[in-house]
Structure 1
Amino acid sequence: MIKLENITKVFPSKNGNVTAVNNVNLHVKKGEIHGVIGYSGAGKSTLIRLVNLLEKPTSGSVSINGTELTTLSPEKLRQTRQKVGMIFQHFNLLKTATVYDNIATPLKLLGYDKQEVKKRVEKYLKIVDLSDKQNSYPSQLSGGQKQRVAIARALSQEPEILLSDEATSALDPETTNSILDLLLKINEELGITILLITHEMNVIQKICDYVYVLENGEIIEQSSAIELFTNPRKHTTKKFLDTISQRKLSVSLISQLKLNGTVTRLTFIGENTGQPLLSQVSQKFGVEPNILTANIMELKNDIVGNLVIHLVGEQEQIHASLEFLNNQGVTTEEVEGE
């Protein structure tokens, strides 16, 4: 569906060239939701604008449904872009136009007749649950309602792909969740493929099938969401996970606890999150597990549980207990000072 191959974008500046995106490869399959996460300045916004050639790559290939965009004529590119909707952090609504006209105006410019415009506006306002707001102006709407209008406007051209450029970062947590629920609904019911960029790990957690971690213009880690949440490899990824789970412990605390035991992070997936495995460890091996931190995260398609425990007992029994947990499908990792 979306394929970026060896994409690089270099911007000239007075102090020399700036590489915003460096040799990125990305493949989003039809019907999936992929997320790109990174800190400010990582190159996320440039990357997503390369997908529909709002930014032209310095080198590399951009394909949608097997069509190479960089070789298209302006007219063919315009036609292809109609199948790629985009929503933004700041909504980009016309302040002096009603909700109805904000959605209708792009359709009119594309040459749709009044009947078709009316049909589409009403259809997609219903999908975003704003049918009663079509005569309102943006100033009369909340931030979440404005974003819903922007989503309806993007959907009105009936795209196959929806690009989201930090669409929830200006919203409060409750409104963010409602917008993410809407994006899930759009993906599931309309079959629209979604590529989003964000700096919020809870966005990745809630709706993404696959994740790319972007740093200094490069993808430093990529995997399915479940793999990323259970086995993060890069320091930046772990820092992002720290923002939504109690993973981090002080170096001094870890050092103190290690004097008479082992500090271990346990990661449970799916059904294992509800099993009394620590109780079994205590009974089978005579070790004492002390829970230091714990949380359960619901992902789009699974559940992940995280525990950091202090195991006290004979070293041989501690090793045996960790082997038992591994055999039960639990990932174990000795915790160092983080």
Structure 2
Amino acid sequence: MILLEHVSKLFQTKNGVIKAVEDVTLHVKQGEIHGVIGYSGAGKSTLIRCVNLLERPTEGKIYIKDKEITRIPNHELREVRKKIGMIFQGFNLLKTATVYDNVAIPLKLLGFHSKEVKARVEKYLSIVGLEDRHFAYPSQLSGGQKQRVAIARALAQEPEILLSDEATSALDPETTDSILDLLLKINRELGITILLITHEMHVIQKICDYVYVMENGRVVEHGTSIDLFTRPTHPTTQKFLNTIAQRRISSNLISQLNLSGQVLRLTFVGESTGKPLLAEVSQKFQVKPNILAANIMELKNGIVGNIVIHLVGKEGDTQASLQYLRSQGVGTEELGGSE
């Protein structure tokens, strides 16, 4: 559905060339939700604006449904863009227009008949849960309601692809969850492919099938959500995970607790999250696992649990217990304390 091949975007400034995006390749299959995560300045916004050529890449190719849009004339590009909706962090609503008109005006500009405009506006305001707010103005809406209007406006053109540029970063956590639930509903019920950018790991956790981690314009790690939440390899990915999961114990805490022996992080995936494996190892081997921290995370396509333990026992017994845990699908990693 969306394919970027070796895309780069350079900006010429008075201080030299800035590589906003450098040699990025990604592939979003039809019906999937892919997320691009990175800190400010990583190149995320430039990348997503390249997808519909709001920013033309300096190098590389972009395909939408097997059509290379980087080579087509402008009149063909306009037709392609009609099937690509986009929502933004700032909502971009007309302040002097009602909710109804904010959704209707783009359709009118595209030449839709008044009956079709009315039908589409009512349909998509209903889908986003604003069927009773037709005559309200943006100033009368909450942030979440404004974003729902923006989503309805994007959906009213009945796109096959929806691009989301930090659409939840200005919202409180509860409202963010409601918008993410709405995006999941849109993906599931309407079959719309979604590519989003974010700096919030919670967004990735809740709705994404596949993830790309960006830093300094490059994709430094990518994989399924399950892969990245269980086996992150790049320091940037690990830092993001630390914002939502207790994955490390500080060296100061280890010192204060006077812990000798091994401090480990155990990662449980899928069925292993529901098994009493720590109880089993304490019975099978001469070890005592002392739980220091734990959490469980529900991803879109699975469950991941993290437990930080202090494992007390003789070397041979601890190694045997760890081997048993690994045989049960549990990831093990010795922790040396946080940085």
TM-score range, shorter chain: over 0.9
- Stretches of structure 2 that go unaligned for 5 or more consecutive residues are none
Question: Match of 2:132, SS?
Answer: helix
Q: How far 1:301 sits from its partner (Å)?
A: 1.5
Q: Deviations over 1:223-267 (max 9, x none)?
A: 000000000101111110011111121123446779631111101
- Describe the SS at the equivalent of 1:18: strand
Aligned to 1:318: 318
Partner of 1:128: 128
Partner of 1:333: 333
Which residue in the other structure is 1:148 paired with?
A: 148
Q: TM-score, normalised by structure 1?
A: 0.98
Specify the alignment match of 1:94 in structure 2. 94
Give distance in 1, aligned partners of 2:337 and 2:130.
50
Query: What residue number does 1:4 align with?
Result: 4
Question: What is the CA–CA distance in structure 2 between the aligned matches of 1:30 and 1:255, rounded to whole Å?
Answer: 51
1:170-210 deviation digits (Å, cap 9, x = unpaired): 00000000000000000000000000000000000000000
Alignment-derived partner of residue 230 in structure 1? 230
Which residue type is aligned with residue 278 of structure 1?
A: L
**1:111-151 CA deviation, whole Å, 9 max, x = no partner?**
10000000000000000000000111100000000000000
Q: Indicate the residue corresponding to 2:80 in structure 1.
A: 80
Q: Equivalents in 2 of 1:256, 1:285: separation in Å?
A: 27
Give the Cα–Cα distance (whole angstroms) in 1 for the partners of residues 122 and 266 of structure 2.
50
Q: Is contact 1:266–1:332 with CA below 8 Å preserved after alignment?
A: yes
Q: Secondary structure at the match of 2:92?
A: coil
* Residue 306 of structure 1: how far off its partner (Å): 0.3
C-alpha separation between the residues in 2 aligned to 1:239 and 1:316?
A: 33
Identity %: 70
* AA of the residue aligned to 1:270: G
Summarize deviations over 1:249-298 as a string: whole Å, max 9, x none: 11234467796311111011112111111011011111010011100000
Provide the C-alpha distance between the structure 2 equivalents of 1:303 and 1:258, rounded to a whole number of angstroms: 33
Q: Is the 8 A contact 2:248 2:335 kept in 1?
A: no
d(CA) in 2 for partners of 1:149 and 1:7? 32
1:263 alignment partner in structure 2? 263
1:203 partnered with 2:164: no
Paired with 2:82 and 2:250, the residues of 1 have a C-alpha distance of: 51
Distance 1:171 1:285 in 2: 49
Give 2:153's aligned amino acid: R
- Determine helix, strand or coil for the equivalent of 1:320: helix
Paired with 2:142 and 2:313, the residues of 1 have a C-alpha distance of: 56
Matched residue of 1:164: which SS? strand
SS of the equivalent of 1:177 reads helix
Secondary structure, aligned partner of 1:70 = helix
Correspondence for 1:161? 161
User: Number of matched residues?
Assistant: 338
Shift in CA distance, 321/290, structure 1 to aligned 2, threshold 3 Å: same
Query: Equivalent residue for 2:15?
Result: 15
Would you say the 8 A contact 1:38–1:215 is kept in 2?
yes
What is the CA–CA distance in structure 1 between the aligned matches of 2:194 and 2:254, rounded to whole Å? 41
Task: Give, as a single letter, the amino acid of the residue that structure 2 aligns with 1:234.
Answer: H
Opposite residue 301 of structure 2, the aligned amino acid is: N
Alignment gaps of 5+ in structure 1: none
Equivalent residue runs for 1:167-186 within 5 Å = 167-186=167-186
Give the secondary structure class of the aligned counterpart of 2:267.
Answer: strand
- What is the distance in 2 between the residues matched to 1:204 and 1:159? 22
Deviation at 1:328, TM superposition (A): 0.5
RMSD: 1.1
